[in-house]
Amino acid sequence: MIRRLMLAAGFATMSVAAQAGGVITVAMTAGEVPITTGTPDQGFEGYRFVALNLYDALVNWDVSKSDTASDIKPGLATAWHIDPANNKRWLFDLRQGVKWHDGCDFMAQDVVWNFARLMDNKAPQFDTFQFALSRGYLTSIAAVTAVGDHQVAIETKSPDSLVPYELSYVPMISRCRAEALKYDYSGYANQPSGTGPYLFSKLVPHERLELVPNPNYWDKARIPKQDKLVLLPMPEANTRVAALLSGQVNFIEAPAPDAVPRLKSAGMKLFTNIYPHVWAYQLNFVTSPFKDLRVRQAANYAINRDDVKELLGGLMEDAYSTIPPATPYFGHPVLYKFDPKKAHALLEEAKCLPCDVTFVISTSGSGQMQPLQMNELIKAQLEEVGFRVKLDIMDWNALGQVARDGIEKHPDDAAVNASKAVSDPFYGLIRHVAKAQWAPVGSNWGHYEDAETEDLIAKINAEFDPARRNDLLIKLNERMNAQAVMIWVAHDVNPRALSPKLHGFVQAQSWFQDLTPITVDP
């Protein structure tokens, strides 16, 4: 009996050993390797593959499940709460026993040092580039102080119940390593040190980043099960498909929808899942026909999302709201189902026939799906009901600038087609409609203003009970739909294709994904 048990144990060990190892080679959509010095560039793909693998934030995202919308979970902070005596002061309890990749201990002073790196231009560790990349996540933070070695206090400029979400986008880097390098962040990029599940191995600029497992990672369940993770920038969709089919890579992001049948016929595994993304048009509420609610509603009724889905080979979910229906604060908003007659009648009622509008669109870009084809189709659909659409086409970076500038610099543009990450209440809802977020300060591109919306946002920020805050968020989403604050078209389903040799990947409903459980067959 003992011999049998020993034999079984031996086989089990062999089985585990056979599963472990191998190399995951990912073809990213990014055109460049995301930077490795903390907050990444290249949008959320930079977070997905680089920042959240090398680093942790105080608050992490739970990306272990595919069947529920991802939410935040403890990261380098194990718990957080608002100071009962001061609703502008958050207290974060820090995880003890965590070590940086360079061997130093993670302490509260490291957190304070990191925030100074991003916010205090007089601090020696201040990093201008990181400041530019992080400032959007830090707008409400007034001060960060250590409370002993294992707790930090974060004070906000006004009551802000969403601080934990904002901190999930701020990776912590090693003070030890930065000081050893005398704050030379270009040197740091080649020797980054975090607390994440992967260690830096090699960086070839413009070509590849190689990471290896961190055997001492504090979350033992997330110690990577591969030998190496290789990340390659590969912006062209068909190139990624060809790379997967040829065996150059075994994991690709966003294959072209029309290439999916070919990938399936070659035995590749296709993963899709709804995630907090919306492909929509932000509208000009001041100097365009969209200042009239009826015109906004007409545009939403004019969109035949079935045709868009057909164009994308089924790789989308219909979008009738800024956030996907699985979001906890979706509620029961008005849904503008395809109704061209109603759309035409609304335009007639608004005396906007033909209704001339200019849409700013891009040729490609992160989360933009198939922008040229989709916009050509939508232009035709809108023109069917009485719009006359002019497409102003530019590259992704130029469009990003238009989106950041806001309508004051672009009063002749009626809408901008920049897809949105809608991962949390602020990013999903508030930033698009709050007056405080009017561009160029924030993401309210078209200067939307509504007293009821402002009132709801103030209540949300001051509500620290999650359930009651969720109710308020539902009301905000429903209000945004009633006001048709965007033209909603599609939620991406985040397609990615993996070689049949890869196992164990779970596609979360998130922009971020966990590669640590993936095993690779020899």
Partner 1 sequence: MNKPVALAVAEIPADSDFDGAPATKVRGYWQSVGYRLRHDWVTLGFGVIVLLIVLAAVFAPLIAPFSPYAQSIIGRLKPFGWRGHPWGTDELGRDMMSRLIYGGRISLMMGLVPVVIATMIGGTLGVIGGFAGKVANTAIMRTMDVFYAFPSILLAVAISGAMGGGIVNGIISLSLVFTPAMCRVAETATAQVKNLDYIEAARASGAGTLTIIRHHVLGNVLGPVFIYASSLVSVSILLASGLSFLGLGVQPPEPDWGLMLSTLRQSLYVDPLGCALPGIAIFITSICFNLVSDGIRAAMDVRI
For partner 1, the binding residues (CB under 8 A) are 237-238, 241, 256-259, 261-262, 307, 310-311, 363-364, 370, 372-373, 375-377, 379-380, 391-395, 398
End-to-end CA distance of the chain, in Å? 33
C-beta of 263: minimal distance to partner 1 in Å? 8
C-beta of 274: minimal distance to partner 1 in Å? 22
Nearer to partner 1, 112 or 311 (CB): 311
Nearer to partner 1, 227 or 384 (CB): 384
Is the distance from CB of 321 to CB of 335 less than 8 angstroms?
yes
Is the distance from CB of 194 to CB of 187 less than 8 angstroms?
no
Q: Which two three-digit tokens encode residue 484?
A: 């048709």
- Residue type present at position 472: L
For 158, 201, 212, 318, 510, the CA distances from 516, given in Å and listed in that order, are 38, 16, 11, 31, 16
Is the distance from CB of 27 to CB of 241 less than 8 angstroms?
no
Is residue 440 reached through a cis peptide bond, with omega within 30 degrees of 0 on the bond before it?
Answer: yes
Nearer to partner 1, 172 or 237 (CB): 237
Nearer to partner 1, 362 or 477 (CB): 362
The Cα–Cα gap between 424 and 469 comes to: 13
Nearer to partner 1, 395 or 408 (CB): 395
C-beta of 257: minimal distance to partner 1 in Å? 7
C-beta of 407: minimal distance to partner 1 in Å? 18
Nearer to partner 1, 362 or 444 (CB): 362
Nearer to partner 1, 182 or 206 (CB): 206
Report phi then psi at 249, rounded to 5. Answer: -130, 165
C-beta of 250: minimal distance to partner 1 in Å? 19
DSSP notation for 119-186: H-TTSTT--HHHHHHHGGGSTTEEEEEESSSSEEEEEESS--TTHHHHHTT-----HHHHHHTTT-HH
C-beta of 324: minimal distance to partner 1 in Å? 23
C-beta of 236: minimal distance to partner 1 in Å? 8
Is the distance from CB of 424 to CB of 432 less than 8 angstroms?
no
